[in-house]
Chain A
Amino acid sequence: MSLIEIRNLDVWFGDGLGRVNAVRAANFSVAAGESFGLVGESGSGKSTILRALTGLAPTWSGRIVVDGVPLRGKSRSRAFFKMVQMVFQDPYASLHPRHSVDRVLSETLFLHGFKDIDARVSKLLNDVGLDARFRFRHPHQLSGGKRQRVAIARALAGEPDILLLDEPTSALDVSIQAEILNLLTDLQNEHGLTYLMVSHDLPVIGHMCDRLAVMKDGEIVEVMGVDRLRKRQATHPYSQLLLAASVR
């Protein structure tokens, strides 16, 4: 059974003449333990799908089913947030500038209803490869890669099954990108996570994902396995164009 199922998903913003159809009739499913990628250029609707899933884009229609439970509107249950967590693109913007790493993680653990917060903060830092001395630092005292590690630790706090990754490495240098992608690979093996990852970078998606969907102007034009991507056997002309532009 698939863990995430999306059927006939439309997402729009505004109404009347100002209506923008950000996602149109999207269909795909992600199996438990799988990594699924969404690629496309800016404005293609790939991040909007993640936002609709998490309730951040309230105007949508169609079916989104997560672990057998159909979602409605923009309200999500506590159980949903325990199961699904998101890592955002910009580690500079997604952490509170005046909260220390310790506070960011403790607060999240408290909201998830854990009691042994102190021990769990240490474990989370250890899981994402951060030394204990970073625990009481503030975001501005950390490099971009370390901040993204904190953001990943925060997402892991509730022991989720699904991580939504919205361009998790596009703000980072290539050497740091390699470290974060390796961390995500290891975490997936250790915790049996399911990834739904958005990126504009085909080689990154090719490295991380088992299957991927190519999006253009709000529509999924092609869903393919990573083997076909590697052999450059995309069938849709737009996917071929993306491949040609990003592989040198």
Chain B
Amino acid sequence: MSRLDVENLWVRFPTRQGVFDAVRGVSFSLERERLGIVGESGSGKSMTGRAILRLIRPPGIVEADRISLEGRNLLQASEPQMRDVRGRQISMIMQDPKFSLNPVIRVGEQIMEAYLMRARTSRAEARKTTLEMLEAVSISDPERVMRAYPHEISGGMGQRVMIAMMLIAGPRILIADEPTSALDVSVQRQVLDIMDSLVKKRGMGLIFISHDLNLVSEFCDRVLIMYFGRIVEVCDADRLHEAKHPYTRGLLNSLPRLDRPRKHLQTLTRDPSWKDMPSVTGVR
């Protein structure tokens, strides 16, 4: 039994032109590892992450043969039970801290709220834990940041606050949806290092959703490459550059490289048959 099992997951959106399938029968498992999901916009990578936490709003439809968290079937969980899963069992970090934090509530209050919802404890205790958590994400003056409003902190710090908030209840699985795309390269590295050490220390499973192939190959253990709602290839992250599927190859080759100057970049010619190829399983 793995930590998380997803079997034949579909995400559908009924539209006027018929039903649109955003995710088309994806299966994968997650152990105590860092699993990357890469793909372009519209490939269904974010929808996969959201579907696990049942964050897809109607009229969107989520169907699966199985989504199980350490043997417990999440598909049969009621909404109150799901609320219990979110945060305490599985947490999700979204792309942009600006849109994920409440702009009119102080940062500290928001993190404490996340903690108090999950743990029955006093406010003083929650405050102490929050300060420790902010320190754990390398915020040097946690007292000041506790009192700050979201607009008073930088993007990099905002993302670290989000990480603190998502990890404070000690989840078993962390889903990070483009957690560093809005950040500068140097800050990106810092945030990734913090996430990495916390994931290792606490033995969490991590699903890392990103469009950045280089980042994923460096940061993750295993990578799923998604195209049109299906997994087209699964490979070990450090061997991503030896990927076989023409889509993965095309993505890798279209990146400009400092060490290989060329007049024109290689462009990706999409073969219509890729859409209809069966999904590769990401089960270990």
Within 8 A of A (CB), among B168-208: 184-189
Asked whether, in the complex, the Cβ of B186 is within 8 Å of the Cβ of A203, the reply is: no
Asked whether, in the complex, the Cβ of B255 is within 8 Å of the Cβ of A203, the reply is: yes
Distance between Cα atoms of A112 and B215 in the complex (Å) = 44
Task: Judge whether B211 is part of the interface by a CB distance below 8 angstroms.
Answer: yes
Task: Judge whether B16 is part of the interface by a CB distance below 8 angstroms.
Answer: no
Q: In this complex, what residue of A is CB-closest to B183?
A: A42
Q: What range describes how many residues of A lie at the interface?
A: 20 to 34
Contacts of A242 in B (CB 8 A): 185-186
Q: Which residue, A41, A42, A178, A182, has most C-beta atoms of chain B within 10 A?
A: A178
Asked whether, in the complex, the Cβ of B258 is within 8 Å of the Cβ of A229, the reply is: yes
Task: Judge whether A93 is part of the interface by a CB distance below 8 angstroms.
Answer: no
Asked whether, in the complex, the Cβ of A207 is within 8 Å of the Cβ of B267, the reply is: no
Q: Quick check: which of A15-23, A95-103, A169-177 contacts chain B, the rest being far away?
A: A169-177
Asked whether, in the complex, the Cβ of A41 is within 8 Å of the Cβ of B256, the reply is: no
Q: Mark A182-210, 1 if CB is under 8 A from B, else 0.
A: 10010000000000000010111011000
Q: What range describes how many residues of B lie at the interface?
A: 20 to 34
Task: Judge whether A230 is part of the interface by a CB distance below 8 angstroms.
Answer: yes
Asked whether, in the complex, the Cβ of B186 is within 8 Å of the Cβ of A174, the reply is: no
Distance between Cα atoms of A75 and B81 in the complex (Å) = 62
Beyond A202-B258, A203-B255, A229-B258, is A174–B267 a contact (Cβ under 8 Å)? no
Contacts of A232 in B (CB 8 A): 258
Which listed residue, A182, A226, A246, touches B265 by the CB 8 Å rule? Answer: A182
Asked whether, in the complex, the Cβ of A41 is within 8 Å of the Cβ of B263, the reply is: no
Within 8 A of B (CB), among A197-248: 200, 202-204, 206-207, 226, 229-230, 232, 241-242, 245-248
Within 8 A of A (CB), among B91-113: none
Asked whether, in the complex, the Cβ of A179 is within 8 Å of the Cβ of B267, the reply is: yes
Which listed residue, A173, A178, A181, A206, touches B258 by the CB 8 Å rule? Answer: A206
Beyond A242-B185, A248-B214, is A207–B261 a contact (Cβ under 8 Å)? yes
Asked whether, in the complex, the Cβ of A245 is within 8 Å of the Cβ of B254, the reply is: no
Asked whether, in the complex, the Cβ of B254 is within 8 Å of the Cβ of A177, the reply is: yes
Contacts of B184 in A (CB 8 A): 41-42, 200
Distance between Cα atoms of A229 and B259 in the complex (Å) = 9
Residues in A lying within 8 Å of B, measured CB to CB: 41-42, 144, 173-175, 177-179, 181-182, 185, 200, 202-204, 206-207, 226, 229-230, 232, 241-242, 245-248
